[in-house]
Amino acid sequence: MRSVVLLSGGIDPVSGRPAPPSGEIAAIGLALSAGGAVGGVHVGLPAAALGQAAGHGLGQIACLRGVGDPVAILAAHLSAAPPDLVLAGSRACGGEDSGMLPYLLAERLGWPLLAGVVAIGTVADGWLPVTIGLPLGARQDARIRLPCILCAHDAAPAPPFVFDRARRVAMHAVAVADAETIAPPEGTERPYRARPRLIGSAAPAGGGRVLDNPDPAEAARVLLDHLRALGMLDA
């Protein structure tokens, strides 16, 4: 089992100082719990947050030195020597980060992705059992085929920070081919404005029907009628 943890040049939201995001620390924890070789990958120059992330359990971090779309750079790097598992946080904290990177990467590599992972089990027949954290502490078991991308839940157990590991990390720069530049995002930007709460006011009080063990087609028809009655679907 070889795992790669995607690391960002994290910034602490309060202090603005370099700091690994909690999700990435949790991702390192998941990678360690999977066993086998674990390495970090960062696109860009070595950042201070990387050393701190390494303190949570990474022996080495590859810094991919290329210009252009980090998704393309990562995809090229990962498909050259595909690991079994790619782990990421749910969202970086660098300011411009959208949290889309793992999804775009999965799309480009054609790998499956699961988000909100709090624990992983042992591989059987090429399938990896994982536990996904849902709101209010609920847990859901799932399994995913390797190789895959997992986004760690922010609340997944975080391995402790060990200064001795942080100071021993081997950070090596890897020269990679430049990738295409990122296309500017579509759509227009406009300032946020408060929107009226639609759901609460749109739903009429009472009404509805209770169906006990209905036929699926019947249930779908009732739901559609109900939504049409509310005006949420075109008649």
Partner 1 sequence: MRVLIVGEIGGIALAAAMGWLVLLARWLKGRPATGWLAGLRQVPRRYLVDVHHVVARRPAAARMHAMAAGGVLGGAALALLAALLGAGGIVWALAALAFGMGGIGALLVWRRRVPKAPPALSGGAFLWLPAALAAWCVGNGLAALFMAIGASALPVIPSVVLGGLGGVALLRLVALGPMRHALAGVAWLAGHTRPGRFTGKGRDTGLRPLDLAAPRLGVLVPADFSGPELAAFDACIQCGRCEEACPAFAAGQRLNPKALIQTLSGAMRAVPPPYAGRPAPSVPVLQGKGGMGQPIVGNVLHRDTLWACTTCRACVEECPMLIEHVDAVVALRRGQTLMLGATRDGAAQALRASRERAEPGGRDLAARGDMIAALDMPVLPPGGESDILLWLGEGAFDARYGRTLRALVTLMRRAGLRFATLGADEVDCGDLARRLGDEATFQSLAAEAISALKARRFTKIVTADPHALHVLRNEYPALGGRWEVQHHTGLLDELVRDGRLRLERRESTRVAYHDPCYLGRYNGEIDAPRRLLDAACTDRVEMARHGMRAMCCGGGGGSPVSDVDAVTRIPDLRMEQARAAGAGLVAVACPGCTAMLEGVTGPRPEIRDVAELVLAAVVAGAMV
In the complex, the residues that contact partner 1 under the rule CB under 8 A are 12, 14-15, 17-19, 52, 55, 159-167
Beta strands, E only, 74-165: 85-88, 113-120, 127-133, 139-145, 148-152
Closest distance of CB 56 from partner 1, Å: 8
Tokens 């001795």 appear where? 164
Asked if 71 contacts 105 with a C-beta cutoff of 8 angstroms, the reply is yes
Which is nearer to partner 1, 55 or 116 (by Cβ)? 55
Which is nearer to partner 1, 18 or 99 (by Cβ)? 18
Establish how many alpha carbons lie within 13 A of residue 56's alpha carbon, considering only the half-sphere containing its beta carbon: 26
Closest distance of CB 3 from partner 1, Å: 20
CA dist., res. 195 & res. 211, Å (int)? 34
Which is nearer to partner 1, 164 or 215 (by Cβ)? 164
24 Cα distance to chain centroid = 9
What is the token pair recorded at 46? 């070595």
Asked if 17 contacts 9 with a C-beta cutoff of 8 angstroms, the reply is no
Closest distance of CB 102 from partner 1, Å: 23
Closest distance of CB 53 from partner 1, Å: 11
Which is nearer to partner 1, 162 or 170 (by Cβ)? 162
Closest distance of CB 212 from partner 1, Å: 48
Which is nearer to partner 1, 127 or 163 (by Cβ)? 163
Helix/strand/coil for 4? strand
